[in-house]
Structures are given as C-alpha cells and as structure tokens.
Amino acid sequence: MKVCIGLSGGVDSSVAALLLKQQGYDVFAMFMQNWHDADATLHGDCEWEEDRFVAEMVARKIGIPFYFIDLSKEYRQRVVDYMFNEYSEGRTPNPDVLCNREIKFDAFLEAAEKLGADMVATGHYCRKEPLLDSEGKQVIIDGQPQWRILEGVDPNKDQSYFLCQLGQGQLAKAMFPIGGLTKPEVRRIAHEADLPSADKKDSQGICFVGKVDLPTFLKQKLLPKQGDVVEVFDAFYASSPDYGFAVSTLSSILKTPGKPQMICAYSSEDSGGASFNNVSIEGATRSEGNEYDEEKIRTLSDETLERLSRPLDYGSIKFETETYRSGKKHIRKTRYKDNPYGKIVGQHDGAQFYTIGQRKGLNIGGHKDSIFVISTDTERNIIYVGEGHTHKGLSRCCIRIGNRDIHWIRQDLEMKDGEIRSCRVRVRYRQPLQDALLTKRPNGLFIIFKKPQRGISNGQFAVWYSSDGEMLGSGAI
C-alpha cells in the first residue's frame, strides 16, 4: 500500500512517517505551503522555509521520497476567506477544523492520489478503528465501510477535535500512526532515530499560517473602526427578561427543585484544571452541576429551547447625555447620565477584532479583577465587558446547532427529532470533556450542559463524544 505522509517539519509527523516506513508501507512525504503573506506573522517570513528544510532532512533521514506542493490558493479561498467573513459577522471561527476538512483531507488528498497514494497519513493524536457488527465484521452502509474515530490516548495532546468535520469518505483514506502514543513516547522515538525534528517545538497559531497577531492579521481585510466598550453591571441580569427566562426554564427541568447553577467555576485548561477558591458561585448548592430530568426536557417547546440557547442581547443598555457647567467660568460640558446597568469604560478599534472571553488587549484600568469580553455587537460596533471570572455574562448553559450545520461522522448514529442523548462535549481544543444532554428538534440540535460553560461564542465548533471516547459529530454554534 502506498501512503503519503503530510510532513510538516514537526516531530509528530516525522515520527508518523518513521513508523509507517518501519511497518512496511511504501511511504512518500509531501510538504504543503499554504501561506505566503508574512506581514501578520510574529516570526518573520522564513518560518515555512525552515519547516520545509527540516521536513526534507527528515525524509532524507528516513529514506523516503519528498515532494513539495503549493496549496496557498485553495487555503485562502476555503479557510482564510471563511475566517475573515466569520469575524466580520461577530463569530469566532476555528480555521484548523476547516483546514483539515477542506485542505489536508481534500485538496492535499487529491494531490497525493495523483502521485499514486492509496492513503494519506498525518501526525494527529487520534485513533481510527473499523466499525464492527456483533459478528466482528466491518459495517458497510451504502457500499462504504464504516469507521470510528476516537480520542488519542494522550489526554494532554488529543487532537480529535480538529478532525470533527471529516466524513466517512475522508476517514477511509486517513491514517493516524501516532494516535496510540503519548507525546513523551513520540519524542523518545524521534531521539532514538536521531530525527532532525526531535527537539523542535510544537507549532502554534493558525494552521499553516503560524503564530499571528490576530487583529493585525484581520486588518488585512477588515477595516478598524472606533467604538465604545461598555461594562455590564450585575443589576442588568436582575432586570433582564431573557436572563430571568433562562433561570426559570432551567429550574423547571431540574431533577431536584431549586435554583440552577448559572455561573461556571473558572478552571484553567492549561494548568491542570487549577481553579480559584473562596469565590461565591450562584447556585453553589449545585457546584457539581445541574442534574436534569429528560422527561421534563421533552415537555419544553421548540421555541422555548431556541430562546434558552440564544446569547444574551445587551442592546437595551442605552446611555443618555446631559449638559452641566464646570469650573469657575461655568463652561458648558456634556456627559453621560449614570446608568445602573452599565457604563462606557473605554474605546476599541473594531468589534470584529474581539472574541468572547478575551481579556488581553482591552486596555481598561481601574478594576480590582480582570475584565473580560462577554459580547460583541458588530452591527453597532460595541463590545460589552464584565469584571471578574464569575461575571454572569461569561457563562452559558445551552447552545444550538442549526440543522444545516449538524455533522454526524457516522450516519447510523444520527439523532431523530424528539430524541435525547447523553454525551460528553467540548467547545474548544484542550477543553476537558463536559457532560451534556443533546436533544434533537425540528429547529436544530440543542446541547444542555450539566455545568455552565465559559466563554462560548457563536461560530465555534461544538463536538460531542460517547462515553468510550468515540467522536460522534460536531457543528458550528
């Protein structure tokens, strides 16, 4: 069997290539260039050239043919243009997910097949297995053998999330040689084989673009425009009909009557789950999350679920001006009247450059705790912020995936209208899997989390898994 390995110059794809060669496959390597413009990258214009040089040395060391392909046109059309469009609409896209669906397992696969490849391999930390029936035979649907895709065995490096939009046709052609290894094991194999990439640091930033300053990158197409930064006070939620609706609706579907937990306890995904202490959490009696009654969820109307899933709208916070006289000369000036629900605390250069949960780059002082973006309004060019990790605007309990955006990796697992299923869900890479109930309705797939989730933005991909680690499906929020 002839296998094309996507060789990036990193240690993961290098070890994947080595393992394939050792297993007796007819292997060749292909390095793809997907980006030319280095204006927004933080490492200068030679980063991809260095990666290519290392990749070529790795191929030479292993003893496999090496090819180069330029897919920058396809990447710009299918990934970068999508990014610009999503940010301009106030959504937060994931270009790496699109890169795998549209480039690595589409345009790159097509190029590899022209060179005679039967399969394409990558250095992703995930596993692929055949779907077997009760007799141990591979399941075939519509003439196509079915495959399962599972988390990688290394919980710190699992990359199945980035492959959440692949279909069965793409999986049939895919190989993931290092999915059963941990990162330390991969490093050890690379050192033992004296591979040139053995000590190379993991790549960061946008897939095949590199680490970038995102606002600078987006300003290539999206024009800066000054607007207000509005801080939202806690009083807003006490008077918000939509927030009150969410509290009452979630309360109505609890197994045990009471007040639902509405705020997520902060936990750093990059520090082993270290969380803060001595902080009062709303719904603290349910600190382990909300236990919902599936039968009560069935009684909710489609319209109720859709309203529950919507992010809060802060457009009702208005600011009126008043004139006053200042100083000995009584100079007439204008100021905003005090508003119990919020305050204009600064200026920004474009709502499209900010994402939910962001705290860097706001340049807002005078607060005891950190300030976070809780909402963006690209139409009126306003960003809304809140103070502290437990600000109510950072948490959401329910999200919706539109019918057009629902993607099932296996057709046999597709949910029918009215069905409720318990799954584990993540909405970003490296996020620990979260317990949730999925309910399918004619107006979409709704995900109700046991614990409120922090910093969710429309446009992100929600990915759901079974209890044994199989990735089942995904969709853009």
How far apart are alpha carbons 212 and 218 in whole angstroms? 10
Q: What angle do CA 150, 153, 157 make, to 5 degrees?
A: 95
Q: Which of 32, 37, 38, 34 is nearest to 13 (CA)?
A: 32
207 is catalytic: yes
Cα 364 to Cα 207, 225, 317, 388, distances in angstroms: 31, 18, 19, 13
> CA 250, CA 261: separation in Å to the nearest integer?
9
Choosing from 126, 207, 397, 398, which is the catalytic residue?
A: 207
Tokens of 221: 């197409």
Is the separation of the CB atoms in 28 and 117 below 8 Å?
Answer: yes
Q: Which single residue is written with the structure tokens 């989730």?
A: 453
| C-alpha to C-alpha distance for 172 and 143, rounded to whole angstroms | 12
- Is 151:469 a contact under the CB 8 Å cutoff? yes
Are 447 and 306 within 8 A, CB to CB? no
- Where residue 90 falls (left for φ over 0; alpha for ψ -120 to 50; beta otherwise) is left
389/279 Cα distance (integer angstroms): 10
Amino acid 384 reads Y
Which member of 4, 99, 164, 397 is catalytic? 99
Active site residue 264: no
The set of catalytic residues is 99, 207
